[in-house]
A = this chain, B = another copy of it.
């Protein structure tokens, strides 16, 4: 089968458990996947490590990367830049690793435009009431916080149709394996196996001539 890795964007509701899911997927299949780390110009928060949560770089460095097309996608929120460095992604794809970007819908659509064979996965809890109870949390949040989280979830829901697959996160273990299967299946797509098919066609013709 063709050897190049697949570029995968994972988005989903806040509170759907994307972080835990990614961590577990990479822990179980460290040789299959690579997690892309975003670059940002904002300052690290307490406990954040450069090269783990983000690459923390200066605005000047970030703008240099933009200028030399070194980012697959980027956006500016408030006064900070966030973006996906191109070098790491292309290196890992070339090595046959499936590269995962955990980004929001606007970024996802930009990536899909630049790389049309990107696989877009959307993570959701099994139901709206389950999502709400995760957003409400342990009862320590104010009504305002909960209301703004619910508003955000309604907005996030509008983007679902743009994705390729739904990942329903009910039980973590099942969900990790399901996500892994969906990506494995994707490698078998006809459109990702042009080389294999060309080869089998050519070989059939030359084997036919042989006897």
Given contacts A188-B166, A196-B166, are A211 and B161 in contact (CB under 8 A)? no
Measured in the bound complex, the distance between the Cα atoms of B132 and A73 in whole Å is 47
Measured in the bound complex, the distance between the Cα atoms of B182 and A178 in whole Å is 11
User: Is A122 part of the binding interface, using a Cβ–Cβ cutoff of 8 Å?
Assistant: yes
Measured in the bound complex, the distance between the Cα atoms of B188 and A181 in whole Å is 11
User: Is A28 part of the binding interface, using a Cβ–Cβ cutoff of 8 Å?
Assistant: no
A197 touches B161 (CB 8 A): yes
A204 touches B164 (CB 8 A): no
Give, as a whole number of angstroms, the nearest-CB distance from A175 to chain B: 11
Given contacts A127-B200, A178-B188, A185-B181, are A166 and B193 in contact (CB under 8 A)? yes
User: Is A1 part of the binding interface, using a Cβ–Cβ cutoff of 8 Å?
Assistant: yes
Measured in the bound complex, the distance between the Cα atoms of B182 and A131 in whole Å is 28
A128 touches B207 (CB 8 A): yes
A131 touches B204 (CB 8 A): yes
Question: Which residues of B lie under 8 Å from residue A189 when comparing CB positions?
Answer: 164-166
How many copies of this chain? 2
Chain B residue with minimal CB distance to A162?
A: B190
User: Is A150 part of the binding interface, using a Cβ–Cβ cutoff of 8 Å?
Assistant: yes
Q: Kindly state the interface size class of chain A when it binds its partner.
A: 35 or more
Contacts A129-B203, A168-B188 supplied; 14 other A-B pairs, CB < 8 Å: A1-B168, A127-B200, A128-B204, A147-B211, A150-B207, A150-B208, A154-B208, A161-B190, A164-B189, A165-B185, A165-B189, A166-B190, A181-B181, A185-B185
Q: Interface of A with B (CB < 8 Å)?
A: 1, 122, 124, 127-129, 131-132, 143, 146-147, 150-151, 153-154, 157-158, 160-161, 163-168, 178, 181-182, 184-186, 188-190, 193, 196-197, 199-205, 207-208, 211
12 contacts between A and B (CB under 8 A): A122-B190, A127-B200, A128-B200, A131-B200, A153-B204, A157-B204, A160-B197, A165-B185, A166-B189, A167-B188, A181-B181, A185-B185
Task: List the 8 shortest-distance A-B pairs measured between CB atoms, nearest first.
Answer: A128-B203, A185-B185, A182-B185, A150-B208, A181-B181, A128-B204, A165-B188, A157-B201
